[in-house]
Every structure is written in C-alpha cells, then in structure tokens.
Amino acid sequence: MIDKTGLFDYHETMKKIELVKIFKALSSEQRLNIFIMLYNWNQTTSDATADCFCSEEGVEKCFTKACDCMDLSRSTISHHFKELENAGLITCTRIGQSSVCKVNMDAVKAIREFLE
Amino acid sequence: MIDKTGLFDYHETMKKIELVKIFKALSSEQRLNIFIMLYNWNQTTSDATADCFCSEEGVEKCFTKACDCMDLSRSTISHHFKELENAGLITCTRIGQSSVCKVNMDAVKAIREFLE
DNA sequence: TTTATTGTTCCATAATAATCGAACTTTAAC
DNA sequence: GTTAAAGTTCGATTATTATGGAACAATAAA
C-alpha cells in the first residue's frame, strides 16, 4: 500500500479493474443464472437429467438450453455469454454447430482471494 | 435442486437476488474503491497515516475522506454509500456530524460461500 | 443442393445507473 | 443566535446497459 487509501498502486488498480469486470458480469440476474447453470452443469458432467451434452471439455448446446430456461432472445443470450467470457468467467469454443462452454475456475479463485 | 437447471427453487432464488445486489454494488469502480477503502480502514484501526478516526465501531469521516480521494461530489458519494448499504455490504450509523461506517463481514462471507 | 439449426453482428429503442447542483436538516463551534 | 460542516434528498441530464429483430455465416441434415 503506497498511499493512505491503498487505491493508487498500479497492480492493485489492474486487479481492481478485473474485479469490476467480474462483478459487473455477475450483477445481472440473467447472467448470474447463466453462470450458475454452467457451473452446475460443469460439476455434474454425468447428470442424466440434464438434456445437454456434458463432457470433460464443457457443456454443449448451452445457448439453446439457456434460451429455453430464461425467455430471452437468442441475440440477448449471445450478448450475455460474451460478457461472461470477456470478464474471464467462462470460456466458449465452438464444436460443430454448438458452443462448448466452461467455467473458468481461476476467475472464481480470484474473487475468493479478494475476499480474504 | 428441483429442476434440471437449478434455477427455480425458492430459497435459491432469494439467495440469488441478494447476490445480484451485492455484485451490482461492487460492479462500479467507484463503489469498489469505497468498499476497499473501508475494508482496509476497518482492518487497520490503529493506522497512524489515516486521517480519519478509526474505532472498533467503524470508520468516521469516511464521506469527506472519500470525496477527497475520488473526485466525486458529495451527493454522488452519498448515493454510492447508500447502495453499498442497501446491498448489505456495509452499515452506517451517524455519530455527531459524521457517519461511522463498517464493513459487514457476513455479506463478504456470503459471496465467499457462493463461490465454493 | 436445399433446408434447418446454431450462434453472431448491426442497429435501434427502452430501461437503468451515474452524476451534479441546489436546497435542505442536523449537529457542532463561535 | 450565527456560522460552518456533514450528509441527504430532489430534479435534471448524461452515459451505460439490456433487449430484440433482422440480416448474416457456418455447419449439419434432408
């Protein structure tokens, strides 16, 4: 900490900007829903009740599933996924027609560490 | 979890709304600054470099200090403090002229638990 | 090769949030 | 009592975000 407030250190500032992005991404109920959904799916890769394909690599068909679950247009869903991705909370790669999404546990760790 | 997505359980929903409020409160750089400032001050109650009065009860004069640090008007600062308070992240009580603010560690704990 | 599905991008609009100045209340200091 | 300081609230403005429709590209299925 180089000043009274601890607000002006360069690395701290960088970290803070990342954190703001992460918090902003989770500050919409819709996006938090999506995030929790992916988080759960990622953790239950062998869940027979989920009608999406869950592999070690991530979750397929998540866009369509997300649309079904939360009554938003395809394009809005796309925007939300993109924001979660920009914040570093998830990674999406395309396999065939559908996107394979995965929660980035490093980002989750970053928030946790901030709060300690 | 009572459905495939885990999104519709009542208590889960309530918790989620609280979390959204918390994340929203921390999703502005200004408010994150304020929060970190209070957090640091709360933890260094005997910090001689801080020109605020830090007691076991919290941090006094934080509004003025916040104004000095971050080039925002008094009324904007007031709004930001209020939002942190509404999200349950801090508590403010008035003693004399100034507000005594304190970080609510239960809220911090709630986020941490969400991420586990 | 046509058709359907998946997700993206562009564009416009509606909804929210951030910000400030000014008028105000309460407490403290003179 | 008068003046100063700390915060609040109101009202207006500006900036940002959320959203959906339409046109699009890429892949899969027929």
Protein-contacted positions of strand C (CB under 7 Å)? 5-10, 17-23, 26-28
Query: Are B37 and B26 spatial neighbours (Cβ–Cβ below 8 Å)?
Result: no
- Specify the amino acid at residue A109: K
Residue type, A23: F
- Which residue lies nearest D28, CA-to-C1' measured? A97
Rounded to an integer, what distance in angstroms lies between the CA atom of residue B85 and that of residue B92? 7
Closest residue to D7 measured CA to C1′: B78
Å between CA of B96 and C1' of D1: 21
Q: How many Cα atoms occupy the beta-carbon half-sphere of B4 within 13 Å? A: 12
- Reading chain B (116 residues) residue by residue, the pLDDT tens digits are 234 444 456 667 767 788 999 999 999 999 998 898 888 776 655 443 444 444 545 555 567 677 667 888 989 999 999 999 999 999 888 887 778 888 888 888 888 888 77
Quick one: pLDDT at residue A29?
92
Distance CA B90, CA B92 (A): 7
Q: Domains of chain B by range and CATH?
A: 10-114 (1.10.10.10)
For chain A, which residues score pLDDT lower than 70? 1-11, 14, 42-62, 64, 67
What pLDDT is attached to residue B28? Answer: 94
pLDDT of residue A11: 67
